[in-house]
Structure 1
Amino acid sequence: MPRPTAAQFFYGSATVVISALALLLLFRTESGIGVAAVSTVALVLGLLVAMALPARTRAVRRATAPPTTARTHRTIEDIEIAAAQREHIAEHSLHR
Structure 2
Amino acid sequence: MPRPTVAQLAYGSATVILSTLAMLLLSQTSSGPGIGVIAISAVILGLFVAMSVPTRKAGAQPQSEPAADGPVTARRIPSPARGTAAESVREREPAGP
TM-score of Structure 1 vs Structure 2, range by shorter chain: 0.5 to 0.7
Q: For residue 12 of structure 1, what is the aligned residue in structure 2?
A: 12
Q: For residue 21 of structure 1, what is the aligned residue in structure 2?
A: 21
Please list, as runs of the form range in 1=range in 2, the aligned pairs for 1:26-65 lying within 5 A after superposition.
26-54=26-54
Q: For residue 85 of structure 1, what is the aligned residue in structure 2?
A: none
CA distance in 2, matches of 1:10, 1:16: 10
Structure 1, gaps ≥5 residues long = 59-64, 67-96
CA distance in 2, matches of 1:46, 1:32: 21
* Aligned length, in residue pairs: 60
CA distance in 1, matches of 2:30, 2:19: 17
CA distance in 1, matches of 2:37, 2:25: 14
1:10 Cα deviation after fit: 0.2
Structure 1 stretches of 4+ with a deviation exceeding 2 A read none
**Sequence identity percentage:** 53
Calculate the aligned-residue CA RMSD, in Å: 2.0
Which one has the largest radius of gyration? Answer: 2
CA distance in 2, matches of 1:7, 1:27: 29
The C-alpha deviation readout for 1:16-38, integer Å capped at 9, x for no partner, is 00000000000000000000000
Q: TM-score, with normalisation over the residues of structure 2?
A: 0.56
CA distance in 2, matches of 1:54, 1:2: 13
More helix as a share of residues: 1
Q: What secondary structure is seen at the aligned counterpart in 1 of 2:54?
A: helix
1:54 Cα deviation after fit: 2.4
Q: TM-score, with normalisation over the residues of structure 1?
A: 0.56
